[in-house]
Structure 1
Amino acid sequence: MDLTQAIQAPIFKQLSKIASEKKQRTFVIGGFVRDYLLGNTEAKDIDIVTEGSGIELATILAETYKPRPKVSYFKRFGTAMVNIKNCDIEFVGARKESYTPDSRKPFVENGTIEDDQKRRDFTINALAISLNEDDYGMLIDPFNGLNDLNNKIIRTPLDSDITYSDDPLRMIRAIRFATRLGFQIEEKSFEAIRRNAVRFDILSKERVADEFNKIMMTPQPGIGLKLLFEAGLLERFLPELTDLQGIEEIEGQKHKDNFFHTLEVVDNISQTTDNLWLRWAALLHDIGKARTKRFDKKIGWTFHSHEFVGSKMVVTIFKRLKLPLGDSLKYVQKLVQYSSRPISLITDDATDSALRRLLFDSGDDMEDLFLLCKADITTKNEKKQAQFKKNFEYVERKIKEVEEKDKIRNFQPPISGNDIMNTFEILEGKQIGIIKEAIKEAILEGVIKNEYKNSFDYMLELGKKLNLKQKN
């Protein structure tokens, strides 16, 4: 198959000329070829493999451009990266690899294009296009990757057990590609993933999290989550999630399968946001239910305080997977902890005080919290679904009315510590904190308005109760 059209760009012509002068067989390989054949012609990353020094080839190519683009060298891996016209081009020498049982880091030797294609993870990623003058543009496809691409199949070039055992990261990559491309993993290949699931434990948590986040950012992450579960991989790094799977029945009363419900919630939220951490909040919103599940003969199954328990579990999960422990963690914790709060405000009996407290607690994340609540509606009954959404929209309107009236979101009490010290004969200490907290509570409860004069008068009353002496 001739793919000359795919490599018409001047950079490929230039590479071909340099490779010919160096007498190095050179090829475009991997994602660029796969994506081009799938109809994506807007490449941002190009992988070049050459039978010789990839670093030397990258250096020579960079020298032909003015101004000379920066070349990033990774000598330990024998690779180099050049950015030309906002496109990252990575160069590597063709190689063959061998592995030891206790590591996914291979022993590397120089090799041919055939050796290099054998070490690739999947047949659709082993596709290569020649940049050599004698067969420029020819597709090099020793493992029928084009056929797999057309049939939407994920398959390994060589024995799947060896491929996955050598580098277990390929197992989660198989699921990531299947999820992203809408492909099926070949049955033999999927069974090999199941057999080799224990090998997953040698991977660094950072690499697992990186691949998992890529699955989470696909249009329908639930597909990948289900495959990870069926393959026996999910329980190896997110057992809290797989613990939600299953339905118990006592005295004829059942609860829903909270694992598969969670997959639906993640897919729902993914239709409305590309915020990775909001998707994580959807993934973990019910994480505390396995630990709080109880059966009460009078009311059936209960999950009391699962949101609070779940928010604490988020920290453990983030630490284990080496996920960011700053604002991202706090954001996910907050949404998990408050994920059921809006439901309690649906009735007309909900007080302005309760609305103000939710507004104050959720702050700038209130809109995201309501996106999560709406995504949590997974009933297949269209009438119920419409009613639930209508209920949440009703609460949103009520909260906006309170916000416009009281200006509560992210508010700071109008009275500062300096105001208190300038009014009373006290220094910094516990009493200042008590007064500020009392003013904040009074505003949230609607006892006083969120403005300076009301707050100042209330502070004077508090001072009298606390027997504080005013300054002259």
Structure 2
Amino acid sequence: MNFSKELEALEIFRRVGKIADEMGLETYVVGGYVRDLIMGRPCKDIDFVCVGPGIALATAVAESFPSHVPLSVFKNFGTAMIKLDDYEVEFVGARRESYKSDSRKPIVEDGTLQEDQERRDFTINAMAICVNQDRFGELIDPFDGLKDIKRKIIKTPTDPNVTFSDDPLRMMRAVRFASQLQFDIDADTFEGLVNNAHRLSIISGERIIDELNKMIMVDKPSYGFKLLFASKLLHEFFPEMVELQGVDSVGDKSHKDNFYHTLQVLDNICVMTDNLWLRWAAIMHDIAKPATKRFNAKVGWTFHGHEDKGARMTPGIFRRLKLPMDERMKYVQLLVRLHLRPIALVSDKVTDSAVRRLLFDAGDAIDDLMKLCRADVTSKNNNKVQRYLANFDKVEQKILEVEEKDQVRNFQPPVSGEEIMSIFGLDPSRIIGELKEEIKEAILEGHIQNNKEEALQLLYRLAENRGLKPKTE
């Protein structure tokens, strides 16, 4: 099969081929670009392999442009990269690899194109297209990658046990590609995942979470998580999520499987947002249910306090998984802690005070919190789902009304601690915090409006009750 017409769309392929011919280098475009070209997917990363010095070819290509083209050389890896508009173009010499059992870093030696293709992770990534003039556009596909694309199969080019044992990160990549492309994993390749799942322990948390986040960002992440669970890969790095799986029963009372419920919530939230951290909130929202599960003979299974326990667990999980320990973690933690609160507001008897408190506690995350609550409705009874969603419509309307009237989202007390100290001539002390807290509570309860005038009037009354008098000028 020849792809010369497809390669003609970008000038870089003819340019590289011409220079490779002048240097006497057999040269191919390989890997992901070839896969995506065949699948009709956009790809901005172009990888060239030449049988010879890749850095020398990259240097010659960069120098062939009339204007300066940035060239980055990575001598330790034998690679070089140039940037052309939106494209990153990488060059490397063909190589063969061998591995030590305690490391995924290969011992690299110069090799042939065939050896270079053999070292690649999957058949769909092991195809090459020649760019030399006499064979321009010719597909080299020794492992039937084209056939596997048509069959929608992820398969290793050689023995999967060797492929995954050599570089265990490839197991995460197998699931990631299956998730992104909606492909199945070949039976022997999947067995290789199961056999080598324990090898994931030699991979850094940063590399694992990078692959996991890419899975989470697909349209329907539940598929990838089911593969991770079935292959036992998830057990190696996220045991808290594994513990969600399963159903306990006592008599005729049982609870839902919280693992599959979580995956449904995750899929639901993905329809509403591409915010990675809101998707993480969906993953984490019930993470403490196993730790809070209790059986009550009258009401059945309960998970009281799982939202607070889950919020307390969030920093430790984020730290171990090498997720960011910054405002993004705090945002997820906040949503986990508050995810049951809006459900309590569906009653017609809910006071404005309760809504104000939710607005105050959620701040700018209130809209995302409501998305999470909607995603959390996973009943198989469609009438029940519609009833819950209609209730959330009412809650959101009530939130809008209270917010417009009281403006309490993220509000700061109208009177600062510095002003209180200045008015009464006080030094920093506990009483300053107590006065601010009472003003805040009065606003949230609706006793006073959220403005400085009413806050100051209340401040003077509170101070008088404590025997404090304004400082005389």
Q: How far off its partner does 1:134 sit? A: 2.1
Match of 2:7 in 1: 7
Q: Secondary structure at the match of 1:173?
A: helix
Q: Secondary structure at the match of 1:68?
A: coil
CA distance in 2, matches of 1:403, 1:423: 30
Match of 2:156 in 1: 156
CA distance in 2, matches of 1:453, 1:10: 69
- Tell me which moved more, 316-325 or 117-126: 316-325
Kindly provide the amino acid, as one letter, of the partner of residue 266 in structure 2.
V
Kindly provide the amino acid, as one letter, of the partner of residue 262 in structure 1.
T
CA distance in 2, matches of 1:223, 1:199: 22
Counterparts in 2 of 1:136-147, with a 5 A limit? 136-147=136-147
- Tell me which moved more, 52-61 or 215-224: 52-61
Q: Secondary structure at the match of 1:271?
A: helix
Counterparts in 2 of 1:343-358, with a 5 A limit? 343-358=343-358
Q: How far off its partner does 1:193 sit? A: 0.6
Match of 2:380 in 1: 380
Cα RMSD (Å) = 0.9
Match of 2:37 in 1: 36
Q: Secondary structure at the match of 1:76?
A: helix
Q: How far off its partner does 1:43 sit? A: 2.7
Kindly provide the amino acid, as one letter, of the partner of residue 107 in structure 2.
F
Q: How far off its partner does 1:446 sit? A: 1.0
CA distance in 1, matches of 2:429, 2:60: 68
Counterparts in 2 of 1:24-423, with a 5 A limit? 24-40=25-41, 42-423=42-423
Q: Secondary structure at the match of 1:211?
A: helix
- Tell me which moved more, 235-244 or 412-421: 412-421
**TM-score, structure 2 as length reference:** 0.98
- Determine if contact 1:425/1:468 at 8 Å carries over to the other structure: no
Q: How far off its partner does 1:81 sit? A: 1.3
Percent of pairs identical after alignment?
53
Q: How far off its partner does 1:72 sit? A: 1.5
- Determine if contact 1:244/1:258 at 8 Å carries over to the other structure: yes
Q: Secondary structure at the match of 1:395?
A: helix
1:122-147 deviations in whole A, cap 9, x for unaligned?
A: 00000110011221110000001100
Q: How far off its partner does 1:453 sit? A: 1.4
Q: Secondary structure at the match of 2:470?
A: coil
Q: Secondary structure at the match of 2:315?
A: helix
1:273-298 deviations in whole A, cap 9, x for unaligned?
A: 11000000001100010100000112
Kindly provide the amino acid, as one letter, of the partner of residue 174 in structure 1.
A
1:90-144 deviations in whole A, cap 9, x for unaligned?
A: 1111100001111111110000111100000000000110011221110000001
CA distance in 1, matches of 2:385, 2:66: 60
CA distance in 1, matches of 2:238, 2:271: 23
Q: How far off its partner does 1:408 sit? A: 0.3
Q: Secondary structure at the match of 2:5?
A: helix
Q: Secondary structure at the match of 1:108?
A: strand
Kindly provide the amino acid, as one letter, of the partner of residue 22 in structure 2.
E
Q: How far off its partner does 1:76 sit? A: 1.3
CA distance in 2, matches of 1:310, 1:235: 19
Q: Secondary structure at the match of 1:281?
A: helix
Q: How far off its partner does 1:334 sit? A: 0.5
CA distance in 1, matches of 2:83, 2:288: 46
Structure 2 unaligned residues grouped into runs of 5+: none
Q: How far off its partner does 1:384 sit? A: 1.0
Match of 2:439 in 1: 439
Q: How far off its partner does 1:429 sit? A: 2.3
Q: How far off its partner does 1:425 sit? A: 2.5
**TM-score, structure 1 as length reference:** 0.98
Q: Secondary structure at the match of 1:96?
A: strand
Match of 1:471 in 2: 471
CA distance in 1, matches of 2:348, 2:218: 39
1:423-450 deviations in whole A, cap 9, x for unaligned?
A: 2131222221111111111101111111
Match of 1:20 in 2: 21
- Determine if contact 1:246/1:259 at 8 Å carries over to the other structure: yes
Q: How far off its partner does 1:418 sit? A: 2.8
CA distance in 1, matches of 2:23, 2:64: 15
CA distance in 2, matches of 1:330, 1:349: 32
Kindly provide the amino acid, as one letter, of the partner of residue 44 in structure 2.
K
Q: How far off its partner does 1:39 sit? A: 1.3
Q: Secondary structure at the match of 1:89?
A: strand
Q: Secondary structure at the match of 2:65?
A: coil
Q: Runs in 1 of length 4+ with deviation above 4 angstroms? A: none
1:164-203 deviations in whole A, cap 9, x for unaligned?
A: 1111111111111111101110011101110111111110
1:302-337 deviations in whole A, cap 9, x for unaligned?
A: 101101111111111110111111111011000111
Kindly provide the amino acid, as one letter, of the partner of residue 364 in structure 1.
D
Kindly provide the amino acid, as one letter, of the partner of residue 89 in structure 2.
I
Q: Secondary structure at the match of 2:76?
A: coil
Q: Secondary structure at the match of 2:232?
A: coil
Kindly provide the amino acid, as one letter, of the partner of residue 328 in structure 2.
S
Q: Secondary structure at the match of 1:196?
A: helix
CA distance in 2, matches of 1:429, 1:63: 69
Kindly provide the amino acid, as one letter, of the partner of residue 114 in structure 2.
E
CA distance in 2, matches of 1:55, 1:319: 39
Structure 1 unaligned residues grouped into runs of 5+: none
CA distance in 2, matches of 1:146, 1:382: 42
Are residues 362 and 66 of structure 1, via their aligned partners in 2, closer, same or farther at CA, if it must alter by over 3 Å? Answer: farther
Q: Secondary structure at the match of 1:360?
A: helix
CA distance in 1, matches of 2:36, 2:374: 35
Q: How far off its partner does 1:419 sit? A: 2.2
Q: How far off its partner does 1:53 sit? A: 1.5
1:195-220 deviations in whole A, cap 9, x for unaligned?
A: 11111111000000000000000111
